[in-house]
């Protein structure tokens, strides 16, 4: 049993159920940026079923104009094991849904290491913040017009 699971009084099956069915999108990718985990929240957020997302590149959800910048940072993190974002930093970016629409997501990254401490990928917890982003953008636009 996982140490944190003991503290929570939950077994690993209960934790797995929470991760798979929770409201937040949770996904993971390996060192090569291939999706290795995609929960029900990710299916709802992005519109891709798990069997369509797992094994695909993160390009599946990254807008084309941001891919070069994303991959530069990704490869740097995978080589060095260091990110410019600290533990728990909330990041906000646009993302692509299965229907081609763009949404705004906030997410936290979780480095994933093997038993020797080698970085083997990244997991992330994501939420759709499109409505809040659009509202803020509209308020800024109206303020600028005054």
Nearest-angstrom CA–CA distance, 108 and 144: 31
CA distances from 74 to 35, 55, 106, 121, 145 (A): 13, 17, 17, 10, 39
Q: Where are the domains of the chain?
A: 12-145
Are the C-beta atoms of 37 and 27 separated by less than 8 Å?
yes
Rounded mean pLDDT, 49-74: 96
CATH number of 12-145: 3.30.450.20
Summarize pLDDT for 104-144 with one digit per residue, the tens. 999 998 889 999 988 999 999 999 998 776 777 677 777 78
pTM here?
0.79
């Amino acid at each position: 049993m996982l140490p944190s699971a003991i503290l929570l009084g939950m077994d690993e099956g209960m934790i797995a159920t929470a991760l798979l069915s929770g409201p937040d999108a949770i996904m993971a990718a390996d060192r090569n940026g291939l999706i290795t985990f995609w929960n029900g929240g990710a299916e709802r957020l992005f519109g891709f079923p798990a069997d369509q997302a797992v094994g695909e590149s993160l390009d599946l959800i990254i807008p084309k104009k941001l891919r070069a910048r994303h991959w530069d940072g990704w490869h740097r993190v995978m080589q060095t094991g260091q990110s410019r974002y600290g533990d728990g930093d909330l990041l906000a970016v646009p993302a692509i849904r299965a229907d081609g629409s763009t949404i705004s997501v906030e997410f936290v990254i979780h480095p994933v290491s093997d038993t020797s401490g080698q970085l083997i990928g990244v997991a992330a917890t994501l939420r759709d913040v499109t409505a809040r982003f659009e509202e803020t953008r509209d308020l800024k636009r109206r303020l600028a017009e005054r």
